Amino acid sequence: MLRRDFIKLTAALGAASALPLWSRAAWAAEQPALPIPPLLLPDAQGKIALTLQTGEMNWLPAAATRTWGINGALLGPAVRLQRGKPVKVDIHNKLPQASTVHWHGLEIPGAVDGGPHALIHPGSTRTVSFTADQPAATCWFHPHTHGKTGHQVMMGLGGLVLLEDEESSQLPLPKTWGKDDIPVILQDKRLGKDGQIEYQLDVMSAAVGWFGDRMFTNGAAYPQHVAPRGWLRLRFLNGCNARSLNLAASDNRPLYVIASDGGFLAEPVKLTELPILMGERFEVLVDASDGKPFDIVTLPVVQMGMTLAPFDRPLPVLRIQPSLVQGVKTMPDSLVKLPALPPSTGLQERLLQLSMDPKLDTLGMQALMDRYGHQAMAGMSMDHGNASQASNDSMAGMDHGDMKAMDHGSMPGMDHGNMASMDHSAKPFDFSNGNMINGKAFDMAKPMFTTKRGQYEKWTISGEGDMMLHPFHIHGTQFRILSENGQAPAAHRAGWKDTVLVEGKRSEVLVRFNHLAKAEHAYMAHCHLLEHEDTGMMLGFNVVD
């Protein structure tokens, strides 16, 4: 790993490591148990019911925190689907505002995808029917209400989708839900003095994203999970609004990645650190047969706003406590056969240029420093130049050390020439459309382009001229990464994906859409830093025959 000495910082993981075994056990007993989302399967008629509702969580002793959830107070169930089997989902909205349910990662028609056009108003019900016909994968569902997605996710809306098929069911993997098959949904939050979730879409969060100062795992603060003594399957979801994570085991034991967003890899990939972007999922095998307890920690990352305490050092997010029960003893050497990449020559190509209004850039960075000090800049200067290569930067092996000062005024197709002469003193800067793709903020009424069903296309998503982190997500498809931020994709990122890293350079993906998406329910392509999405860095597109 890049920081082999990080384990020396075990003091940051709590004083427990210095305690005798008997004391350590008592300390661990005070930790909450990892909440396990209940499994929700279609009934005999293939029906599922989801209810968006309000609730409360007792995170602080002095106050109950108001939350939103799906079929519960916070987050939602794990919906288990079978490939090729139709399902009918009734979605009831009992929230005080309109919302949607987007099926992130599922290849289904635009009419049922749950994008921003598919609003469910308070007191209303929306019914969608679809058949997921794609390889087994860990996907998820969450709101996609334009301008309000960040707030609604922060309040607690989201849940897993466990798509299974015959091939995956035959793999010798841990399969006992909540025992050795363990969901790990990671989200940061900020609680005010009154114990309530603080959220504000302002010029700072529109620029760098909204971030918290606490981490929750399945809705609990640093929980523990008693697991069988053997191989464990951890299904990681980065459910944060804007925070990238870098996961590791506290004792440096290997993490074997077996699946990414869209399904299984050809074979396990051994890592000691697993960077995971917002909205991404990875399935990981970890060996607990030695019976020794360990933590899953998130290591510091280089990202503006995300370097503040307690994230400035390894932060434990889940304690694994092996029991005396024997579990799965072996890990498979191979998983599934991935199809070869088709030739990318001669394909329809599209360039998507991501950009931020220079005024938003300047005001957002200044607001960040005014509120949190220069340490929040993660080693970057206001002009984004000379970004330091901190020793803990491991995002896909990227080198940030040679990035030059970026000129936002020279982006292709964009005219910022009049920005300097504008009088912003008369009223506050309107950041609601401050983030753009190809020089345009999201237009609900006008899809940007049309693509053909069943045909491969090569999309290039460019962050050139903008050093912000952009996890770029495309609806209606699982794609293959050709290059990621100017480099070949890492082995664990070379399988099926629906999110790609873009940060100051270009990423190329090979996409194909197998379903239709008409203008009234267009597919979305957007940055999954939710505050960027909510302030314009999103486009709609159609798929036709």
pLDDT in tens, 523-544: 999 999 999 999 999 999 999 9
State yes or no: pLDDT of 410 exceeds 80. no
Q: How far apart are CA 240 and CA 88, in angstroms?
A: 28
222 exposed, middle or buried (CB, 10 Å; 0-12, 13-18, 19+)? Answer: buried
| 3-state SS, residue 27 | helix
Q: How far apart are CA 285 and CA 180, in angstroms?
A: 10
Which residue has tokens 């082999």? 4
- Give all domains of the chain, ordered by start, each with its CATH number: 349-356+432-543 (2.60.40.420)
More confident of the two residues 417 and 132: 132
State yes or no: pLDDT of 412 exceeds 50. no
Strands of 310-406 (E only): list them: 315-326, 348-356
pLDDT digits (tens, 9 = 90+) for 19-67: 333 334 434 558 999 999 999 999 999 999 999 999 999 999 989 999 9
Q: Provide the whole-model pTM.
A: 0.88
pLDDT at 384: 52
Please state, in angstroms and as integers, the Cα–Cα distance from residue 101 to each residue in 125, 153, 383, following that order: 11, 11, 38
**Dihedral (Cα; 392, 235, 151, 460), 10-degree rounding:** 70
- Looking at every residue in the chain, the average pLDDT score rounds to 89
Please state, in angstroms and as integers, the Cα–Cα distance from residue 403 to each residue in 242, 277, 406, 488, 495, following that order: 22, 21, 8, 18, 28
pLDDT digits (tens, 9 = 90+) for 204-242: 999 999 999 999 999 999 999 999 999 999 999 999 999
Cβ neighbours, 10 Å, residue 268: 23
Q: Amino acid identity of 205?
A: S
